[in-house]
A and B are shown apart, each in its own frame.
Chain A
Amino acid sequence: MKQPYIFGIRHLSPAGAWHLTRFLSEKQPKLVLIEGPSDLDDQIEYITHPDTRTPIAILAYTKEAPVRTILYPFAEYSPEYQAIVWCKENKVKCRFMDLPSEVFLALPSDLQNESRGEEERMSVYDLLDKQAGEDGHDTFWERTLEHAEKTEEYHQGANVFGEHIRAFSEGQERDWPELLVREAYMRRKIKEALEEGFAPEEIVVVTGAYHVAGLLDETAVAMTEEEVKSLPGKEAKHTLMPYSDYRLSTRSGYGAGNRAPAYYSILWEAVKRGDYQYMAECYLSRIAAYQRKSGNPVSSAEVIEAVRLANSLAVLRGGKYPALRDLRDAAVTCLGKGSLPSISLAIADTEIGTRIGALPEGVSNTSIQEDFYRKLRELKLEKYRDITAQDLSLDLRENRTVSTEKAAFLDLHRSFFLHQLRVLQVSFARTAAVKQDNATWAEQWVIRWTPEAEIELVEAALKGDTVFLAASFALKERVEHAAGISEIAQVIEDAFTCGMAEAMVYATAGLQAMAVDAASIVELAKTAHRLSTVLQYGSIRRLDSEPLIPILQQIYYRACLILPGECICDDAASKELIQAMEMINSAALAHEFLEEETWIQTLTEVSHRDDLNTRLSGFAAAVLLERGRMDNQELRLEVGRRLSIGVPAELGAGWFEGLAMKNRYALIARLSLWESLDNYLGTLEDEEFKRALVFLRRAFADFSAKEKDEIAENLGELWGTNSQQVSEVLNGTLGEAEQNIIESLDDFDFDF
């Protein structure tokens, strides 16, 4: 039987794209079959839409969670893309002929990686790298095939290349069965086309060079109807999405690898012009231009020398034109003065590039993508849709200088939108730290569009049709699956930053329904902290947070009630409790509707009781001191009581450690405190002193030099010595002898 023309290619190959169009023009086929999922035919018309800008990709994704995706990227110089363009221009039918995406998505995941299992074949390419000599197979391919000037040369060469790889790896690869199934399916598609009435010479099949031998194999049979039906399948949808040069470059496993997409664009330009020399000139001039822009003078004479060097390097390797490797080495030698680091940024920019694709309006097939781009326009965020990260500062306050309500709250709505994306885990924007003085109304974002973000967006399509709906669905889901009240509080906070009142009401109801009684003090404190934040900053986001007040009150009382009981714990747990106390304290400070006295009484109890963890008692005392609810007299009594003879030294020192954790200034200012401490240490026996020392050292470890100075001043006052000398001793580093003594304390036995 006569076979249709089969043109083997490498998936991202400028020369392949060029020769393929020439081949098509010569053969004038009536049908072009392209290796790509056969259920994606409907995307072909959008791919050739005049407003479409490459790189783009077709994304197929499962309709049910967990979402699995596969991607078919197209660069301008993809032979497949150029074939599609040619078909459109010549009004020739064009179809995809590979297994439907639904089947791909149903294949076991270790076989089907995102790039159709091509990554699995890396081992073959690794072997090939060794065979091809110093530069690996990429340069080999570039020198032999990308630089092939005759269509016939390329056609034959690619076939031989594919055939050899195939012979090399036949049957050994893990995805070998999958490959056979795919080829059987492709043969079926070809057969169907023949049965439709196309003559063999009216069909051109465009496929990876690897498959050429498989498709030409006369003995292999096409897949039967029953076999097609027995293929696994997962319900899937697909959409076009913009892609980026950067992403193309990271997918080096993709069949034929493309580590330098921007350089390949230059190659494409050169191939189109039929002037391979253009490649060297353009590449090196771009590096020079980048260097100049970043303030490193590079002369044209140096560029000329680099071109000459690249050419002679190519000749040394037996090539006609310089390959990327030669160009890069020439750039390093002539433009980088022999050092790669000095031009590595220019090289990255010239080889990888920052281009991203674009699609005409209405082409994205998921409504959430549509909504995303509509929102970008509405909120004037379009210029941030770029592969380079950009900063955006938002001022959430009303802008009183503009007339419309929409413009006045533009930044606030932007913030809502970006937070919604954050909730959906779309990595389009991330928050950066803001200075304390404007934390209430300012937000700092770093925005960067990546194909990954687009994919995450498509994945979020399952949750809702718009960003807003999807986000509220995601929040609801989190309320339903929440394990504790602080998780729900987190949802409330998120709903609040997203400006989603409904979700807030829903989460609030969820919080009320959950048994507050079962929660631990730490959980309660976290919840209180989150709710308190929402209530404090509620007005700026123009949301009604009133319903949260009774809940916060309830949690606050509960926390006060159980705190003393929870303070019986070991030192490890005390850290968490200290944080919890801190959070409750700040909530109590921030809101008048939380009765202060209740909190003070609780603290006083914790501070006075002797059976609790002494660190916590100390910390409670520190809070009281800070709030001015403990006077000097009380403090002196307390210090005397805690640091008296007979109390085990580590308990006393632990208490002091707790006390010193907060508000050091107030401590330092109280001379009486240091007097008591001094007296106390004086009374200790040697052995006890050693015990106390360990804890006290820890307590003073994070005092700053200035604070130590001030303590020194106090001690100097007490001892009647020069404060300077004391300060020197306190701030000095340890001598060797002292270090040894301290190390010996490590072995100190704390059991008693």
Chain B
Amino acid sequence: MEGWILLNPKEKQQPDGNVYRMNSRNAKSFVPPVTGKSQTISLAHGSGGKAMRDLIEDVIVKSFDNPALNMLDDQARFDLKELTSLGDRLAFTTDSYVVDPLFFPGGDIGTLAVNGTVNDLAVGGAEPLYLSCGFILEEGLTVETLRLITGSMKKEADKSHVSIVTGDTKVVHRGAADKLFINTSGIGVIPRGVNIAATRAEPGDMVLINGFIGDHGAAILEARGDLSLKSSIESDCQPLSKMVQAMLDVCPDIHCLRDATRGGIATVLNEFALCSNVCIRLDEKEIPLRDEVRGLCEILGLDPLYLANEGKLLAIVPRESVERVLEAMRLLPEGQYSAVIGEVVEVPEKRVLLKTSFGGERIVDMMVGDQLPRIC
């Protein structure tokens, strides 16, 4: 059995006529201990035999909180009519998560794996619907760790009303992977009339962000414990699909939208400038940045514009809609600190410029190399 198949808990979208009962009990407390079995993952758990089935049933299926009715199928199936009723295009995306450490203030690899893929769908204007989930487990990982992570995946999936409908588990020798890697792919549907693309930034457009930059990168850096620094910085890992829908409600013609993960806002804005053949001018003093993150950057010589985020998006919207969009964003917790941080101008083409808070101006280039490896 290559894939483990779980069922779609979204009752309104059940395609095959079967009745699936939602289980609302807390996923973590619902999962019984793996009694009489090893409490750590062994190669047997990836062998395709009984140990693997037990692991899937006892930990993964129960965490994701789906009655496992159809374990023998190798694929999830969707009714096309249901999908086409939501829009006219499918959005499909994939991402792998290898963050180190697995747990950090504000989230863990599971919250990243769900929100990262959900957000990749959301910023295309899509309503996220289904996720797949592939685990690569290192021999020796504790079952409890896996359970905590699948628990947070379920919790985050519920927030965005998405279902984890198919997946796979592999176990590799100790040293062949670092504890746990996750791949998630996602499918969503894009409503008619929405046309978001990195090529659509036009002179006159405004640039928006939904809050403080660099929190995730800073939180991971600190969680690694290499620095003898203590602060209260938490990852900003959060789903953005609800906010994107709210933005599209007030402005269906959003030109560009992208979540700023690795490479930070500098990288995304450079992509917009490059793809649209325009210049993006930022105003440093308008960019929301927490004092703690700024302090950490000062100490370590990092530039917050390149620090990773896991719950921040950049939007380029027509100037006449900017107030409406900003207001819609600020009404939601994930957009509470939204701000207009710049504008699109004609020249110099394919460049991002920053008016520094000191009054000078400089180029914000693409990041070279890695400020930090394995942040998501």
Q: Is chain B found bound to chain A in the same assembly?
A: no
Q: Footprint of B on A, CB under 8 Å? A: none
Q: Footprint of A on B, CB under 8 Å? A: none
